[in-house]
A = this chain, B = another copy of it.
């Protein structure tokens, strides 16, 4: 009945899969009786146990049925035009274009990361926590890290946040998604125009509606915000991307009062507040009214892009909502990373790292401004890691980018970050120098 050889290894599996194939191919019709174990064993020169195992596997998967004292019979199985995949391993990612200088995608230079400290802390955590690292992490995150962040916020930003209200997430994009789940998909999010495209696209990806509100030199225009009927305003008051606008407190108070006039919330995206290169970081909007502002920040920018770790501080009302939605879920960030980061914050390593970075970037910035001097007008608020360079003589944005590209420089203009048309953004290049090295 069967004409095939069984190798030395894993005989029963080979037998099982050969018979399986015959059934799927339709060669073995429904109702066909399989040969008795003994006879098949003799035919193939294998042990009865081998055949037994193969038949049992076929039975367990429903290819055959047994009938008391009669043996095994082929079951009815619809044939499938199953497409079989090739096993060839293709490259992981299409190779990205290489530039001499990239002023678009900026990421902290690896050599600035305190790797040895980090490695030491990880070994420490491994030794200290041991098997506790295997425990399920509460939805909001590990309490040790939450407290560490709370203390850090108090020291560095004057933010007085109950650790309980701090939610640990796997980076900004993940947190944007959680915010949609918290505020609901019928929420209309006002986002900054021009702005960081990931914000609006992530809201869309999560099924939420958004509207672009123009940004002027004082950040999001509150009059325009009030006119679009939004329920939440996603802003970065410390240093707007890409315009670099810093929102003065007079506008912030307007923003808060807008939120207080309804069931509205402000999302303060403090993505690079650590990098105010001169003077203290600007005060947060959160501090002005903790019950109306969701404060959020990430460590991906300040530590390492691979560190997908961010957090948000929730107003009481939203915290209740969060717990009702997620109290049965485990936190998404591995406890390991959380413990290591907590140690980094509590040991003061993080702040030392940031001030080293700031020193470094002051140098980069100085060199950069020297180089740009004369060829363009630079708008720089001393915050964050990018400046706006206006080229009045340029024909248009296309020419600016082409000129740069011809020198192997990847650059974008304000207009590339527009979500809806806007006046007066022409001939302005956005220079992100966070990836530059001296």
Of A228-236, A305-313, A392-400, A403-411, the stretch lying at the interface with chain B is A305-313
- Measured CA separation A80–B314 after assembly (Å): 19
Contact A290 B84 (CB under 8 A): yes
Nearest Cβ on chain B to A17's Cβ, whole angstroms: 8
Q: Is A77's CB within 8 Å of the partner chain B?
A: yes
Cβ-closest chain B residue relative to A130: B115
Give this chain's copy count: 2
Q: Is A147's CB within 8 Å of the partner chain B?
A: yes
A62-B250, A84-B290 known; A330 and B304 CB under 8 Å? no
Cβ-closest chain B residue relative to A185: B207
Q: Is A89's CB within 8 Å of the partner chain B?
A: yes
Q: Is A170's CB within 8 Å of the partner chain B?
A: yes
Q: Is A68's CB within 8 Å of the partner chain B?
A: no
User: B residues within 8 A CB of A150?
Assistant: 89
Nearest Cβ on chain B to A337's Cβ, whole angstroms: 5
Contact B332 A162 (CB under 8 A): no
Of A37-45, A252-260, A354-362, the stretch lying at the interface with chain B is A252-260
Which residues of A are interface residues toward B (Cβ below 8 A)?
Answer: 13, 16-17, 20, 53, 56-57, 60-63, 75-93, 107, 110-111, 113, 115, 119, 122-123, 126, 130-131, 133-138, 140, 143, 146-147, 150, 154, 158, 160-165, 170-171, 173-174, 177, 181, 185, 198, 205-207, 218, 246-254, 256-257, 260, 279-280, 282-283, 287-291, 300, 304-309, 325, 328-337, 382
Please give 17 more A-B residue pairs, beta carbons under 8 A apart, in addition to A60-B382, A306-B336.
A62-B251, A76-B250, A77-B249, A79-B253, A80-B256, A84-B290, A85-B161, A91-B164, A92-B143, A93-B138, A113-B134, A134-B306, A170-B170, A308-B331, A309-B334, A334-B336, A336-B337
